Amino acid sequence: MTDRPLVALVYQRPGMPWMFEGARRAGVDVVLIHRPDPRPDEALPAQLPPAVVGALPLDIFGDAAGSLATLAELHRERPFAALVTALDVAVPFTAKAARMLGLPGLSEDASVAVRDKREMRRRIAAAGLNNPAYVALPSPGGWKDAAGLEFPVVVKPASGFTSLGVTRVDSLDDLEDTVASVWDVCRRHLGYGKESAAFEGLVVEEYLDGDEYCVESLSYRGEVRIHTIGYKGRPEGPYFEETVYRAPAPLSPAAERSIREQVTGAHRALGVTDGPTHAELRMRGDKAYLLEMGARVGASGGSHHIVESVTGVDFAGETVRIAMGEEPVSWNRPVESPGVGAMYFVPVGGSGRITNIAGLAEAADDPRVDRVIQLLHPGDEVLPYPEYSGYPGFVLSRHDDHRDAEEFHHELDTSVSVHYE
């Protein structure tokens, strides 16, 4: 019997290694809670990742009560020190399970606020933070309630993740059809119309046309520390597939000040006092608007690479420590500034059955590249946007300056591609 603390890692994709490696550095054993019917990019490998001492299939969405009962039984046999997830849609279940077991972690109230975009918008507005004009729709039939917004607008699921269903609408003439289409996507992928559906509804909000940024933060006992602000490009739609992430971002002092004010204020407004957050914002001039903030390590743990490259902080390991109620080891240490961290999202580039993903092996040979992660493979099916089938892969690299990272991503635009039947 080991004396290491036991942590449940909920719905972590085995192909994304950072949370597993962070758990190992934090000195804990991991039970991997995984889907009973995993997608291709979530399938368990023959060799489990580092620190994992067991794997357990639980249907936390279809059978939340049964999953909670199973965790309670395991907790009696060998108590958990924490429950952690890097998956946005699993945050409310993880918070509820932690409360049930008497463990530290995000409050259930905060877990709802960071998942339900309607509640997030309401709280951001109530706190006096920057908020685009928006309308919440409880059903597709209410689309006329959004007719008074200034176009273009963006329609998004209230409980969505990544870019699933997110669609830009340029005129009122197209709003009804787009709302119906996005709702249909939600019915297929988020269970809208079923009893198990969480936070069922849509948000229609005015489109922000400035650059997009990501912010990675840690909070501990109410103190928020912003670790990195990264550039995410300027996606214009109609769908919003992510492509690049480079940090630290070159920013004017006024823009950086606005981003920091909005992110810090959002922590207070949403009640996030402990743990990691991954915030996405867009600009109007030097004025930042929060798009959303998740209480997790972004990119299924991949944001660890960004933070560690820029600051030297063990972002994934600190997430595990905070989840156990421990003070982060970096809290009283000076933060380094090693360089620029970059992440390239292999673009889907179409739909259908994949025959080949070209250029990844060559990218891995570049000395600036830390890792190449391939999640989709030949034979996997990719649905057309606004559906979401997962990203084909990621190229994670380090650079001396932002310009070199930008040029490298331009090179990957021409050398990496997905081919279909």
Higher pLDDT, 199 or 345: 345
pLDDT at 408 over 80: yes
Whole-angstrom CA distances from 7 to 27, 82, 95, 359 are 10, 5, 14, 37
Taking residues 324-329, what's their average pLDDT? 96
At which residue do the structure tokens 């709802």 appear? 112
Burial of 1 (0-12, 13-18, 19+ CB in 10 A): exposed
Which range, of 18-32, 45-59, 183-197, 352-366, averages the lowest pLDDT?
183-197
Q: 3-class DSSP state for residue 358?
A: strand
Share of the chain above pLDDT 90, in %: 86
Contact 354, 383 (CB under 8 A): no
In this structure, which CATH number among 3.30.1490.20, 3.40.50.970, 2.60.120.330, 3.40.250.10 belongs to the domain 133-206? 3.30.1490.20
Alpha-helical regions (H) of 291-390: 303-311, 315-323, 360-364
Average pLDDT over residues 54-63: 95
pLDDT of residue 196: 67
376, HSE (Cβ side, Cα atoms, 13 Å): 28
Whether CATH 3.30.930.10 fits 6-106: no
170, 208, 217, 296 from 264: Cα distances, Å:
32, 21, 9, 16
Q: In this model, does residue 335 exceed pLDDT 80?
A: no
User: Does residue 70 register a pLDDT over 90?
Assistant: yes
- Confidence check: pLDDT of 102 > 70: yes
Query: What is the CATH T-level fold of the domain 212-420, as seen in this structure?
Result: D-amino Acid Aminotransferase; Chain A, domain 1 (3.30.470)
What is the pTM for the complete model shown?
A: 0.95
Domain boundaries, the chain: 6-106, 133-206, 212-420
Span of 103-117, 143-157, 182-196, 198-212 with lowest mean pLDDT: 182-196
DSSP characters for 207-247?
PP-S-EEEEEEEEETTEEEEEEEEE-----SSS----EEEE
Residue-wise pLDDT tens digits, 239-298:
998 999 999 999 999 999 999 999 999 999 999 999 999 999 999 999 999 999 999 999
Of 338, 316, 255, residue with least CA distance to 289 = 255
User: Half-sphere exposure of residue 110, counting CA atoms within 13 Å on the CB side?
Assistant: 23
Q: 1: pLDDT confidence band, cut at 50, 70 and 90?
A: low
